[in-house]
Structure formats: C-alpha cells, structure tokens
C-alpha cells in the first residue's frame, strides 16, 4: 500500500517534467497576411513583399528579413533628417544611447562622402533611428529618373542623389539605383557602404606645353590647384607628368612644390627633384605624397634626391612635409637650366587622388 501511495505522489511530477521537455521544432509555417497594426516584436509573413517581416521599436518602418540591412544611428544635427536622405558617420557617439551620430552626406568633400546609407524614415533631432545600408528605400520622389540608372551622391545638395557623375574635385560615390519611378511612392535600391567610392580620381590637369629657355634662374612652368579638403586622413596625392628638353649642352633640373599660392615657390614646400642628364631628351616625372591619419601629417620620397619617380631606391629617409590639405593649395613645377641655350619643358601633367 505504501509503494502505491509513493507512486501516486510522484506521478504528477513525472507528468510536469514531460510537459517541460521541449519538443524539436523543425519548421514554422506562417499564414501570409497583409501587414497588421504595429506592435514591437511582431514577426509575420508579409504577403505584399513576399518575405518574413518584423516590427521593431520604430512604428514607421517594417524590416523585410533577407531583403534589407539596417543600422541604428542618432541624429544630433539640430534638424530632422528626412526619409531617403543619404547620411555619413560624423565620428561622434551619442552618450546616452551609445549610437553613432550621422549627418547629411555630400560629395563636395572627402570627409562627408563616406556614405553609410539612406535614412529609412524621418529621424527627428535628438532621437535615434535607422539607416538602410542595403535594400529598398520606399516613399521617395524618383520622378523623371529612368529605372535602373545608377545614382550618385550629390556634390551640390546635401543628402541627395543625382544621376550625373560628379566631376573633379568632387568624390564619385555610387549609392544604388531606382527600382520604381513615382513622385511620392518611388523606390530606390540602396547599394552603399563605401563600395561605390572610386579609389582613384583625377583632380586637375594641364595638357599644354610649358617651356622655358634662356635664363638659368629657377623658373616656374605652371601651377595646378588642389582644392581644400581634397585629401582625407589617409589619402594620397599623385602627380604625374611628361618632361622633355631641347639641346644637350647641360643638365635641366626640375623641381616640384606644394604651397598656398599659384605660380611661385614662396612659402611652398619642396616635394620632388629630378636632374635630367644633358643627353636625355624625354622622361616621366612623378611624385606621391601620403597622409598619415591626418590631413597635415604626410611624407614623400626624399625631396632633394634626384629621381624621376618615387619608385626609385634611396639610402635617405623619407621627407616629412606636414602640408595641411585642409587648406587650398597649389602644386607648382619649376625648371632650372645649367645652360641658357637649352630648353626645359613639361606637359600632360595630371594630379590624382588615391582615396583610402
């Protein structure tokens, strides 16, 4: 009788233990529905978009799982960031939420060209929100744009896109394409995250011959503009040109400078030297100056060593130049003849920016 009594007492515990043992769930079947009212944490199969959808804390948006990627951000710009505006990280983190702060991106400066995505809803000032880095952004004005045409970050209108490829010195940042053309219900397919930034772009050039003969005093051949903020923290500037001479009596020394004023070496920093031998009639001339985690910390191949390219070997240390590329600058090339009867010349000069 005692054994039966003990078994009866233990039987409910066995039943409870069996009920608490989780079953193996191999699949979940959702009934396709039109989007229901917003409720944070709700997961459903969206019959409109043919994808599983999820509601988070933001009632204005719906995450279509497998079709888009978001990142949380914070707006401290002082104004609302409208839906569909392109943004970049400002480098600041909001203290309370620990979210990265964003502002409107623009292709007119390297520092504001590093697009992370589109605001996927209007983000009010001093609030957090979400940015689409990949996938569709809805409710935009895409009227007048052909579907499938590549879009680029605008250099003239902050936060906007354009179908026109920006010209130098602006950055070229491809940010997706239009999926649906409509004045208010347009859809853009976002493809951003730095992938579209061209890593090498032409900044300035001159194709005309610049020649000098006669005086043996160092003489400016020409200058090329380097707009302010053309180089970012780890970018490099590349100068390439073609040199030639007339007369083989003596050497011709070409020098390259970067300074604040065009057509003068006053206040300029020497970044390259090449002494063309007397019998040499043509040669390329190139130099590269590289920023090191700062717009004003940079170095070059030994500036006073004669070489027509920075690819040459040297027993000397690099020259620390510390030129501040946050300022408007000019790159200037000069020639100094050893014999007044000779001619030194430069043409087909080009400045490139190698973006990190």
Domain ranges for the chain = 68-191, 200-354
| CB atoms inside a 10 Å sphere around CB 323 | 25
Q: What is the pLDDT along the chain (356 residues), one digit of tens a residue?
A: 444 444 444 444 444 444 555 567 778 888 888 999 999 999 999 898 888 989 999 988 888 898 889 999 999 999 999 999 999 999 888 788 889 999 999 998 878 988 999 999 999 999 999 999 999 999 999 999 999 888 989 999 999 999 988 876 678 888 999 999 999 999 999 987 543 444 566 778 887 889 999 999 999 999 999 988 888 788 899 999 999 998 888 999 999 999 999 999 999 999 999 999 999 999 999 999 999 988 899 999 999 999 999 988 899 999 999 999 989 999 999 999 999 999 999 999 999 888 76
Q: Give the chain's end-to-end CA distance (angstroms, integer).
A: 85
Cα–Cα separations (whole angstroms), residue 295 to 4, 91, 232, 290: 86, 16, 6, 9
User: Over the chain, what HEC string results?
Assistant: CHHHHHHHHHHHHHHHHHHHCCCCCCCCCCCEECCCCCCCCCEEEECCCCEEEECCCCCCCCEECCCCEEEEEEECCCCCECCCCEEEEEEEECCCCCCEEEEECCCCCHHHCCEEEEECCCECCCEEEEEEEEEEEEEECCCCCCCCCEEEECCCCCCCEECCCCCCCCCCEEEEEEEECCCCCEEEEEECCCCCECCEEEEEEECCCEEEECCCCCEEEEEEEECCCCCCCCCEEEEEEEEEEECCCCCEEEEEEEECCCCCCCCCEEEEEEEECCCCCEEEEEEEEEECCCCCCEEECCCCCECCCCCCCCCCCCEECCCCCCCCEEEEEEEEECCCCCEEEEEEEEEEEECC
What predicted TM-score, i.e. pTM, was given to this entire model?
0.56
- Tell me how far apart the alpha carbons of residues 356 and 198 are, in angstroms, rounded to a whole number: 10
- 194 φ/ψ angles, rounded to the nearest 5 degrees: 90, -10
Q: 195: which residues sit within 8 A by CB, 6+ positions away?
A: 174
pLDDT at 320: 94
pLDDT at 15: 45
Which CATH number fits the domain 200-354, given the four candidates 1.10.3470, 2.60.120, 3.30.1490, 3.30.70? 2.60.120
- Tell me how far apart the alpha carbons of residues 228 and 170 are, in angstroms, rounded to a whole number: 11
- Tell me how far apart the alpha carbons of residues 151 and 177 are, in angstroms, rounded to a whole number: 5
Phi-psi region of 105 (alpha: psi -120 to 50; beta: other; left: phi over 0): beta
pLDDT at 199: 54
Among 353, 324, 323, 320, CA closest to 239: 353
pLDDT at 11: 42
């Amino acid at each position: 009788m005692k054994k039966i009594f003990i078994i009866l007492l233990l039987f409910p515990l066995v039943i409870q233990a069996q009920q608490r043992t989780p079953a193996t769930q191999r699949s979940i079947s959702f009934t396709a529905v039109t989007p229901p009212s917003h409720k944070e944490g709700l997961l459903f199969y969206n019959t409109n978009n043919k994808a599983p959808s999820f509601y988070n804390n933001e009632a204005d948006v719906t995450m279509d799982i497998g079709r888009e990627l978001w990142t949380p951000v914070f707006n401290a710009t002082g104004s609302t960031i409208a839906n569909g505006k392109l943004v970049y990280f400002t480098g600041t983190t909001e203290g309370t939420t620990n979210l990265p702060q964003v502002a409107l991106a623009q292709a007119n400066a390297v520092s504001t060209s590093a697009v992370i995505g589109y605001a996927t809803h209007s983000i009010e000032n001093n609030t957090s929100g979400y940015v689409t880095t990949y996938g569709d952004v809805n409710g935009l004005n895409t009227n007048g744009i052909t579907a499938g045409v590549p879009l680029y970050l605008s250099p003239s209108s902050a936060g906007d896109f354009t179908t026109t490829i920006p010209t130098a010195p602006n950055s070229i940042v491809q940010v997706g394409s239009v999926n649906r053309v409509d004045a208010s219900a347009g859809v853009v397919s976002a493809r951003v995250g730095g992938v579209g930034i061209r890593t090498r772009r032409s900044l300035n050039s001159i194709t005309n011959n610049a020649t000098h003969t006669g005086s043996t005093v160092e003489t400016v051949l020409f200058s090329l503009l380097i707009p302010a903020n053309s180089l970012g923290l780890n970018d490099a500037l590349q100068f390439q040109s073609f040199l030639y001479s007339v007369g083989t009596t003596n050497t011709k020394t070409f020098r390259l400078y970067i300074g604040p004023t065009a057509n003068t070496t006053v206040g300029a920093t020497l970044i390259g030297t090449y002494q063309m031998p007397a019998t040499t009639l043509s040669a390329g001339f190139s130099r590269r100056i590289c920023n090191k985690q700062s717009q004003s910390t940079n170095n070059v191949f030994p500036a006073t060593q004669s070489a027509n390219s920075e690819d040459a070997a040297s027993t000397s240390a690099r020259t620390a130049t510390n030129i501040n590329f946050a300022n408007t600058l000019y790159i200037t090339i000069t020639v100094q003849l050893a014999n007044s009867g000779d001619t030194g010349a430069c043409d087909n000069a080009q400045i490139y920016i190698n973006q990190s």
